[in-house]
Amino acid sequence: MTIWHTIGQQLKSPSGFAGRLTGSLMRIANDKPNRLAVDALRIGCRDNVLELGFGPGHAIEMMASRTPAGTICGLDQSAVMLEQAERRNQTAIEEGRVFLYRAAFESLPFAKACFDKILAVNVIYFWRDPLAVLREIRRVLRPGGCLSIYATDAATMRGWKFAGPETHRLYGADELSEILHGGGFDPNRIFVRNVHVARRVNGLLATVSASTKPMRLRANGC
């Protein structure tokens, strides 16, 4: 196993000492994508928000400061990330405004239509079955609710040795739109734009609003 594969694996599933270190680095490296994706959600003071794959808990902290009368829930499979995110958000957890869970994207432990907004930053690469995850997202997002997804553009990531196909599935703007459509979202409500993150780092920001009416799914959808 190469060092690059090990880094890719730690980003997908942080564990042990290397996972703690990865969490600290993610906190810095992913600041801008998190800000862009959180801003796109336009969080209101009473919103109930879910983050998929909170990592070190940086976006959870940002969002908790924007919704004093709402709640922020987060979910991540990594025990090490749960520990870091809990530490970062300890006060808001004690106040009953932030709730963090160790669970998987593929089976969200929440009731139907209970979130106004959903955030997913730098996690879509790890969706083994994107349609299954999108089905879960549509289930827990209320009609008219909003989803914000950030992914670094495939064109940038192809140059990153740690983002190989054994750990990462890459998306360009078209693939991102198509997967969201295939997952049951109305194409008229999917907006994907290019965002500049840093020198030679281009990102994609997808914002999707859930239809207020049930939508007929395509044959290759859920």
Ligand X SMILES: C[S@@+](CC[C@H](N)C(=O)[O-])C[C@H]1O[C@@H](n2cnc3c(N)ncnc32)[C@H](O)[C@@H]1O
Residue from 13, 48, 207, 209 that binds ligand X (CB under 6 A)? 13
Q: Which stretch binds ligand X (CB under 6 A): 38-46, 72-80, 91-99, 110-118?
A: 72-80
Closest CA to 149 of 167, 133, 132: 133
Separation CA 150–CA 51 (nearest Å): 12
Which lies closer to ligand X via its Cβ, residue 49 or residue 189? 49
Question: Cα dihedral angle (147, 153, 154, 158), rounded to 10 degrees?
Answer: -140
The residue (of 71 and 122) whose beta carbon lies closer to ligand X is 122
The rounded Cα 75 to chain-centroid distance in angstroms is 10
Q: At its nearest, how many Å lie between ligand X and the CB of residue 132?
A: 10
Q: φ, ψ for residue 219 (rounded to 5)?
A: -60, -30
Decide if residue 163 touches ligand X (CB under 6 A).
no
Report the number of secondary-structure helices (H) and strands (E) in the chain. 9, 7
Specify burial of residue 216 (Cβ count, 10 A radius: 0-12, 13-18, 19+).
exposed
Residue 91 CB, nearest approach to ligand X (Å): 20
Query: Which bin fits 144, alpha (ψ -120 to 50), beta or left (φ > 0)?
Result: left
81 binds ligand X (CB under 6 A): yes
Q: How far is CA 127 from CA 45, 69, 166, 206, in A?
A: 30, 31, 12, 16
| Using rule CB under 6 A, residue 105 touches ligand X | yes
Whose Cβ is closer to ligand X: residue 142's or residue 169's? 169
Among 14, 70, 183, 203, binds ligand X (CB under 6 A): 14
The one among 8, 40, 53, 141 contacting ligand X by CB under 6 A = 53
Distance CA 152, CA 169 (A): 11
Of the candidate residues 7, 11, 118, 147, the single one contacting ligand X (CB under 6 A): 11
Q: To the nearest whole angstrom, how small is the minimum distance from the Cβ of residue 81 to ligand X?
A: 4
Interface with ligand X in residues 116-155 (CB under 6 A): 121-123, 126
> For binding to ligand X (CB under 6 A), which residues are involved?
11-14, 26, 30, 34, 53-55, 58, 76-78, 81, 104-105, 121-123, 126
